[in-house]
Amino acid sequence: MGSTTTARALVAGALALAGCSRLHVSPLQPPPYRAEIPAAYDSTWSALVRALAHQNVPLRAIARDSGVIASDEFVSPINLYADCGQLSGDQLEGEAIVSFTVFAEPNGPRATRIQVNSKMRTQAFRRGKSGKLRPMPVYNCASTGRFEANLVDALRDYVKE
């Protein structure tokens, strides 16, 4: 009997603590961003490097033979490139750490497929527009799709030149 009472007390205590915690609603992670550029692989690759340099994206690795470019992590305002969700109904604001990996592969002699994967998390956040920024806890974020769309638009413009 004593162990049943203890177990019930532990469950009740855990439920009470869970009821006091704030509910974090994470955004749904979108699938990787995919696009096709109407240009040969070599032209698209040069345009890709140029577009990333123009956006001042810090790069960690470039491998032309395998078609991979990986960015270093960099800071971005939350809701520009990263959607970090809501905390108790308030949108998270502040700074996010973001990184991207771009894959390029030829799709015939006159087209190149592009895929952009993203990884994001909060660095410092606050609930809504008030309060000070806090570093903890760290929440995972999802891409807003802006970086990817801007990159593909720039690629299409650069390959036309």
Of residues 114 and 131, the one with the higher pLDDT is 114
The predicted-structure confidence for 77-99, as pLDDT tens digits, reads as follows 999 999 999 988 889 999 999 99
Q: Which two tokens stand for residue 92?
A: 């998270």
Which percentage of the chain shows pLDDT scores above 90?
74
Of 123 and 22, more confident: 123
Helix (H) or strand (E) holding 42: helix 41-54
**Domain annotation covers residue 14:** no
Residue 2: pLDDT over 70: no
Q: Is the predicted pLDDT of residue 18 greater than 50, yes or no?
A: no
Non-local (6+) Cβ contacts of 120 within 8 A are 81, 82, 84, 96, 97, 98, 99, 140, 141, 142, 143
Count up the domains in the chain and report the number: 1
- Give CA–CA dist 128/98, Å, rounded: 20
What pLDDT does residue 5 have? 64
Residue 126 lies in a domain: yes
Where do the DSSP E strands lie in 26-73?
Answer: 33-37, 59-63, 68-71
**Which is more confidently placed, 29 or 141?**
141
Prediction pTM value: 0.81
Closest residue by Cα to residue 22 from 93, 94, 92: 92
What would the pLDDT profile of 23-62 be if each residue is shown by its tens digit?
Answer: 777 677 778 999 999 999 999 999 999 999 999 999 999 9
Instruction: Identify whether 3 is part of a domain.
Output: no
DSSP 8-state assignment for residue 150: H
8 part of a folded domain? no
**Would 17 be classed as within a structural domain?**
no
Residue 80 sits in a domain whose CATH number is 3.30.310
Is residue 82 in some structural domain? Answer: yes
Which residue has better confidence, 21 or 144? 144
3-state secondary structure of 146: helix
Residue 148 maps to a domain? yes
For residues 102 and 68, what is the distance between their CA atoms, to the nearest angstrom?
Answer: 6
Q: For residues 65 and 9, what is the distance between their CA atoms, to the nearest angstrom?
A: 61
Report the C-alpha gap between 50 and 69 in whole angstroms. Answer: 12
Give the domain range for residue 156: 23-160
